[in-house]
Amino acid sequence: VPLSQVIVYLDDLVFVDGVLVEGSSGLPSVPSNNNNHSIPLPSTTTTLEDQPTDQEQQLQESQQSSPTEELRATVALCNQTIADLVDKKLLKFEKAQRGIFKKRSVSHHRERDDVIRVLNRLSEESRQVVKIHHDMACQLKIKQRDQTILKKAVTSFGKEIKSNSAARRVMKGDLGSKTAQCRELENQLKETNSRWNDRLAAKEQECQRHKKKEMNMTHLLRENSQTLDIVTSELNNANTKMTSLLEDNQQLKIQMTSLQITADKTEYDLQNSLRFKDKLHAEKSFLESGVKNLEEKLRSQRQFFCEQEETLRKQWGEMLLIKERDCERYKKEMENMAITLNKSNSVVYKLTAEL
């Protein structure tokens, strides 16, 4: 793959494909190129205090000659490395073409393709190097123009600098005093900074303590929240128990009302029996003694029933306060009362039957 000829113009030198051409001189017109490899130019602004003396001008002239030498050295190194790489790859390619590799396998074709790719890449790299050298040459030309302008400015302002040397010395003295003041201020600032750093360290320690306290408080709050959850669950259980007890109390009240109804019925029956007895007493005088005995018995039973009712009411009032413990006792008493009532009813029915 033949490489296209690349021409590089550097000052009064001309490079063709990376090789120096003897007897070359002159720079062609360089077109403007926005390339990323451009070298940044130094600032050309000068003041009366920063203008160089004769010794500084000599140093600048000695420094101006150094970039061209460095560029020449870098160009030579680049050309040498490119030539070595091209020679190596071309030797491999020529060996492949002459038939040293007898078996033309897939590896041979791959190596040939690799050589072609490397040569193409080297051609692109050489073009990039040429662009970089081109930009460097343009910027060196701009530097030379700036340096000529600076030389003219230095020569024009040299007399004024010599006349103002005394003023510069006075300014240097003032600068020395100001530098001393600045050092004193720097020392004061260092002391204040050290104090503020100590204060900041103390405040950081306080912040860490506050953070630890906050962590402890959060831990306590979590524990309290857990205890509150437990208490709320217990309260809910107690509420359920209370509701069950209230239901039991309502059932007991219903039973009390039913017992009162039965007692009223018994009283009504007793009154009817007394009336019937009065009627029978007028008709049957011979049974007065028996009737009197029966009345006495009925009165005694009535008093007994009244006492029983009072005792039951007291017991039920106490039972509402004590709740579950007295329920069984009241049930037993009610059973006993029912037995007695049944007995009394049986006795009354017998007496009425006899009468």
Q: Which residue has the higher pLDDT, 329 or 340?
A: 340
pTM of the model: 0.22
* Residue 96, pLDDT score: 57
End-to-end alpha-carbon separation of the chain, Å?
152
- The enclosing H or E element of 53 equals none
Q: Is the pLDDT of residue 217 over 70?
A: yes
Residue 139: is it exposed, middle or buried by C-beta count within 10 angstroms (0-12/13-18/19+)? middle
Please tell me the distance from the alpha carbon of residue 266 to that of residue 92, in angstroms, as a whole number.
136
Confidence of residue 42 (pLDDT cuts 50, 70, 90): very low
β-pair type (13-16, 19-21): antiparallel
pLDDT of residue 101: 47
Please say whether the beta carbons of 334 and 259 come within 8 A.
Answer: yes
For residue 296, with 0-12 CB atoms within 10 Å meaning exposed, 13-18 middle and 19 or more buried, which class applies? exposed
Using 50, 70 and 90 to split pLDDT, how confident is the model at 94? Answer: low
For residue 41, pLDDT over 70 is answered with: no
Mean pLDDT of the chain: 71
Return the higher-pLDDT residue of 57 and 107.
107
190-215 confidence digits (pLDDT tens): 888 888 888 888 888 888 888 888 88
Calculate what percentage of the chain has a pLDDT beyond 90: 0
Q: What does 243-281 look like in DSSP terms, one character per residue?
A: HHHHHHHHHHHHHHHHHHHHHHHHHHHHHHHHHHHHHHH
| Identity at 203, one-letter amino acid code | K
Q: Does 22 or 245 have the greater pLDDT score?
A: 245
Q: Which of 267, 264, 259, 268 is nearest to 337 (CA)?
A: 259
Q: Are 82 and 18 in contact (CB under 8 A)?
A: yes
Which residue is associated with the tokens 């359920």? Answer: 240
Confidence of residue 290 (pLDDT cuts 50, 70, 90): low
Given a cut of 80, is residue 84 above it in pLDDT?
Answer: no
Mean pLDDT of 289-310: 77
Query: Phi then psi for 50, rounded to 5 degrees?
Result: -95, 10
Q: Given this model, what pLDDT does residue 251 score?
A: 86
Residue 32, pLDDT above cutoff 50: no
